[in-house]
Amino acid sequence: MRSWKLSPLAASVWLVASAAQAATLPDIAPLDVIEISDEVNPNNLTPAQLTQPGDISAALNAKDSGVPLRTPARSYDSQCVDDGLARLQSETPPDVLIYFAHRAARSCANADVQPAFTQAVERLLQRGGGVVVFHHGLYTAAGKGPILQLIGAQSNSIAWNTMQGQRVVAIARSHFVASNGIKYDGKVTLPAFSGVPAGEYDAFVNVPDERYPVTDLLDVGMATRTVLFASDSGGNRVLGFVTARSEWKGKIVAYQPGEYQPNALDQRDGNNFQILANAIAFSAGRVNEKGEPVTGAGGSSGSGGSGAGGNAGSGGANTAQGGQAQGGGASGGRTAGGGTATSGGSSAASGGAVSGGVPSAASGAAASGGAAALGGSVAGGNASTTSGGAPGAGGSTVAAAGAAAGPAESTSGCGCGVARQQRWPSLLVPPLMLGLLWRRRALRARSSNG
């Protein structure tokens, strides 16, 4: 019986292809994300079909999510919201709140806490945290009026469609949330409505999907609203938008599709999960509308670092002054501009890692006399140099400067998540080249023998 195995070249190609099953994001600092959610099931879907409380955080925590997290995403019930509200009100709030609540917030003792919850959400936005309103977070319910006003929209009808589903039309095609990693396979011509200019737009279709045929945009006063997505399935209406205010450092991103879990969450490289990932990164200010990482973006205050200094991950990042922040390198941590470790510092001391951190440098060069550990670490914690990452005068490249368990640092000056799926292709270039060399040698040997 003939045995079968992949050649080195084929194995490399297969690994590269298999690594693409995740949302893709720019190199951003890891995030702390929480979900406030509850369940309604008007379409009698099975648990595998229905997006339920905890499903969003579970998808984000999956190894193939592509979303860099500083701590595992947590889910809190909107009908027993005490712990979730405490997180929002604390001195260490999350970077992003995913609001997936159909009902107004209630305490575990069944008291109405929606006013306190709405106030905490606005405070999060003021401090630099982001809010992603997912699917039935837009839906009207008794007591939700103030937070829907804050969001800037409300819906009050449903239509479950298993045949045509719902068309998602990109109105702001160049905006990061509507462009990064999203595959459009159709064109739609729309009339002018609800801030949508008449014109032809790119689109894709979710089948099945739950439509909200009656979706009203609310007066947001001094806030600004950018329409990202719309639909003409069962009537013209807005499906997604950004709400921002001058007094907020963070933003609200709303997206209506999300009822059907296989489309919304299970397809990690699918359009809907990619939009969710984009919204998370953008709402917290990690990237701008063009998708460029924001230097020094720190999100909310507390364990996430200062607004100027960026996110302090447990694997060593930074305050604005470069000092210690929950595991960051003392007096040698990364500065707001992503600067180098302290002059003359070694990788283990004033420029190095504590609890898994590594020094970073915007130019790819270590400080004078310091050891270079640029470009982060891979599985074994080996240092690599990128962007011309030669060690500075008198320095040496230290292979152990990285940390096996801590997050890697990038040459852009941000703390990055543990080797995400989309980084694999760069790691697989050496085996791919080796496979090509083996292939060439085999061909030469065959021709010389033959």
SS (HEC) of 400-434: CCCCCCCCCECCCCCECCCCCHHHHHHHCHHHHHH
pLDDT band at 423 (very low <50, low <70, confident <90, very high): very low
The yes-or-no verdict on residue 240 having pLDDT over 90 is yes
The yes-or-no verdict on residue 432 having pLDDT over 80 is no
Cβ distance 117 to 88 under 8 Å? Answer: yes
β-partners of residue 74 are 34
pLDDT band at 187 (very low <50, low <70, confident <90, very high): very high
pLDDT band at 107 (very low <50, low <70, confident <90, very high): very high
The yes-or-no verdict on residue 421 having pLDDT over 70 is no
Q: Which residue has the higher pLDDT, 65 or 400?
A: 65
Q: Compute φ and ψ for 237, nearest 5 degrees.
A: -160, 160
Q: Which CATH number fits domain 21-283: 3.90.1330.10, 3.30.2130.30, 3.40.50.880, 3.30.2320.20?
A: 3.40.50.880
> Between the ranges 40-54, 313-327, 356-370, where is the mean pLDDT highest?
40-54
- Rounded to whole angstroms, the Cα distance separating 341 from 338 reads 9
The yes-or-no verdict on residue 131 having pLDDT over 80 is yes
Per-residue pLDDT, 420: 36
For residues 157-165, average pLDDT: 97
- Rounded to whole angstroms, the Cα distance separating 427 from 430 reads 7
Per-residue pLDDT, 21: 79
For residues 28-55, average pLDDT: 98
Q: Which residue has the higher pLDDT, 393 or 174?
A: 174
The yes-or-no verdict on residue 417 having pLDDT over 90 is no
On average, the pLDDT of the chain sits at 74
pLDDT band at 437 (very low <50, low <70, confident <90, very high): low
**Given strand 33-37, what is the order of strands in its sheet?**
74-77, 33-37, 96-100, 130-134, 252-255, 237-244, 224-231, 166-170, 199-206, 186-190
Cβ distance 157 to 203 under 8 Å? Answer: no
For residues 346-352, average pLDDT: 35
Q: What is the pTM of this model?
A: 0.66
Per-residue pLDDT, 244: 98
Q: Which residue has the higher pLDDT, 193 or 388?
A: 193
Task: Name the nearest CA neighbour of 309 among 277, 285, 329, 336.
Answer: 336
